[in-house]
Amino acid sequence: MKVLVMNAGSSSLKYQLIDMQSHAVIAKGLCEKVGFDGSFHSYELGKDEALATIPLADHHVAVKEVLSVLLNPNDGVIASLDEIAAIGHRVVHGGEFFTESVVISDAVIEKIVACTPLAPLHNPGALMGIEACKELMPNALQVAVFDTAFHQSMPAKAYRYPLPDALYEEHRIRKYGFHGTSHRYVSQRAAVLLERPLEELKLITCHLGNGCSLTAIEGGRSVDTTMGFTPLDGVMMGTRCGAIDPAIVTYLISELGMTVERVNEVMNRESGLLGISGLTNDLRDVRAAAEAGDPRAILAYEMYSNSVKKHIGQQVFTLAGVDAIVLTAGVGENCDRMRRMIFEGLEPLGITLDLEKNKGRGGERLISTEDSPVKVFVIPTNEELMIALDVDRLYQQQ
């Protein structure tokens, strides 16, 4: 069975075609600038890479382009659309409606629409992708997989903000959390690596990419996470500030005369590693500058690692102990220097990195010492496979 995994943004469409027997990625690609001039489709079929500059007026046209590439009689990877039994759509926000992945129906679409005010930049893209796939592949099962669903298990004491009750009761202002598919995937892999049932583990999973979030997981369920009502909260990120004193927002408006839009831009696009280093949001370049002695880059490194360290600390207390800490995504998987700084000085708490293993590269691996009471793993995330596995499970239940 083959599953098509779709991640549709407002002007992009990322996809993978996955074989569920081998978990191999048969094809993958990205349509960018959908709806704009200069749109293109870059893709890999097996080992062959290609780039097509092609007008993609909307998501319908983009999905059609993807399918025609997959079906191409010369170098395509399927002979008929019937080979794609099901499609998994990544949807960022499922609000309080969805606690797990679901087969898409009209009622499900209505609820995703209802969540749009909570994710105005993300949910409309997913909806366009769903509509296009429904039209072009009416026989395939369509499944929605939500970034927020995994965190719906959080207790009220974790997801409520200490704001007036009506803001939750009437406006659903609460912590939702994001990156749920990634946290879920790496937590399941950690249990496999520990050779223990997920149900008896306390884990902290750290998704450190351009966006960053940490999740405290007990028995396979999210009990707290660092992102909140939006993906702006929590740890310092590439361009996002993470948690700051909320009064700074009103000060920027009342004292510095910023508009609401400008404040949003500053906090989402001009802060984090970029804001502090004054150079870039890419940790590779911040690292090079820090190693060359740039004081702002050094500070950016220190603030980022300190931010992750503090949030891990919070979650250790939330869980009352931890069996393993997992690092994933661009920074977590690749930056040994950041990993070393995050765990520096934590030996008295039972967390000891093996500095040689930490320098190693490759896939899933233990980077703590053999006798460290708390294990630390690097586990490359694979959100697409997690989505495909959910789709496969729901398909088998049909």
Which C-beta is closer to ligand AMP: that of 148 or that of 281? 281
The three-class DSSP label of residue 67 is: helix
State which residue, 43 or 301, has the beta carbon closest to ligand AMP: 301
Question: In terms of DSSP H, where are the helices of 180-282?
Answer: 180-194, 247-254, 260-269, 272-277
Binding residue (CB under 6 A) for ligand AMP from 23, 196, 284, 359: 284
Beta bridge partners of residue 197, listed in sequence order: none
Determine if 129 is a binding residue for ligand AMP (CB under 6 A): no
Residue in 75, 147, 294, 336 annotated catalytic: 147
Q: Given candidates 115, 236, 319, 335, which one binds ligand AMP under the rule CB under 6 A?
A: 335
Whole-angstrom Cα distance, residue 112 to residue 129? 13
CB of 284 to ligand AMP, least distance (A): 4
Determine if 210 is a binding residue for ligand AMP (CB under 6 A): yes
Element containing residue 30 per DSSP (H, E): strand 25-32
Beta strands 365-366 and 375-378 are antiparallel
Stretch of 77-85, 108-116, 247-255, 279-287 lying at the interface with ligand AMP (CB under 6 A):
279-287
Q: Work out whether the CA dihedral 302, 305, 308, 311 comes out positive or negative.
A: negative
Least distance in Å: CB of 160 to ligand AMP? 29
Residues whose CB is less than 8 angstroms from the CB of residue 372 and which lie 6 or more positions away in sequence, other chains included: 350, 351, 352, 353, 354
Query: Closer CB to ligand AMP, residue 126 or residue 327?
Result: 327
Q: Is residue 314 close enough to count as binding ligand AMP by CB under 6 A?
A: no
- Quick one: which segment of 127-135, 193-201, 327-335, 352-360 binds ligand AMP (CB under 6 A)? 327-335
Q: Does 310 bind ligand AMP (CB under 6 A)?
A: no
**First-last CA distance in the chain:** 14
User: Exactly one of 62, 149, 223, 329 binds ligand AMP (CB under 6 A); which one?
Assistant: 329
- If one asks whether residue 9 binds ligand AMP (CB under 6 A), the answer comes out as no
- Map tokens 């069975």 to a residue: 1
237 binds ligand AMP (CB under 6 A): no
Q: What is the DSSP letter of 75?
A: T
C-alpha to C-alpha distance for 360 and 187, rounded to whole angstroms: 21
* 331 touches ligand AMP (CB under 6 A): yes
Taking alpha carbons only, the member of 347, 278, 273 closest to residue 308 is 273
C-alpha triplet 334, 340, 343: angle, nearest 5°: 120
Nearest-angstrom CA–CA distance, 381 and 319: 23
224 is catalytic: no
Which residue in the set 9, 95, 272, 330 belongs to the binding site for ligand AMP (CB under 6 A)? 330
Query: Phi/psi of residue 339, each to 5°?
Result: -60, -40
212-218 and 102-103 beta bridge pairing = unpaired
Q: Is residue 359 involved in binding ligand AMP (CB under 6 A)?
A: no
Closest CB to ligand AMP among 249 and 298?
298
Under the binding rule (CB under 6 A), the answer on residue 115 touching ligand AMP is no
List 238, 242, 272, 275, residue binding ligand AMP (CB under 6 A): 238
The one-character DSSP state at 210 is: S
H-state helical runs in 226-271: 247-254, 260-269
Biggest CA-to-CA distance, the chain:
63
DSSP state of 97: T
Verify binding: residue 279, ligand AMP, rule CB under 6 A: no
- Using rule CB under 6 A, residue 272 touches ligand AMP: no
CB of 180 to ligand AMP, least distance (A): 15
Applying CB under 6 A, among 94, 125, 129, 209 the residue interacting with ligand AMP is 209
- Confirm or reject binding of residue 290 to ligand AMP (CB under 6 A): no
Answer for which of 32, 334, 357, 366 binds ligand AMP (CB under 6 A) is: 334
Whole-number minimum distance, CB 339 to ligand AMP, in Å?
10
The residues annotated with a catalytic role in the active site are 147
Question: For binding to ligand AMP (CB under 6 A), which residues are involved?
Answer: 209-210, 238, 281-284, 287, 329-331, 334-335
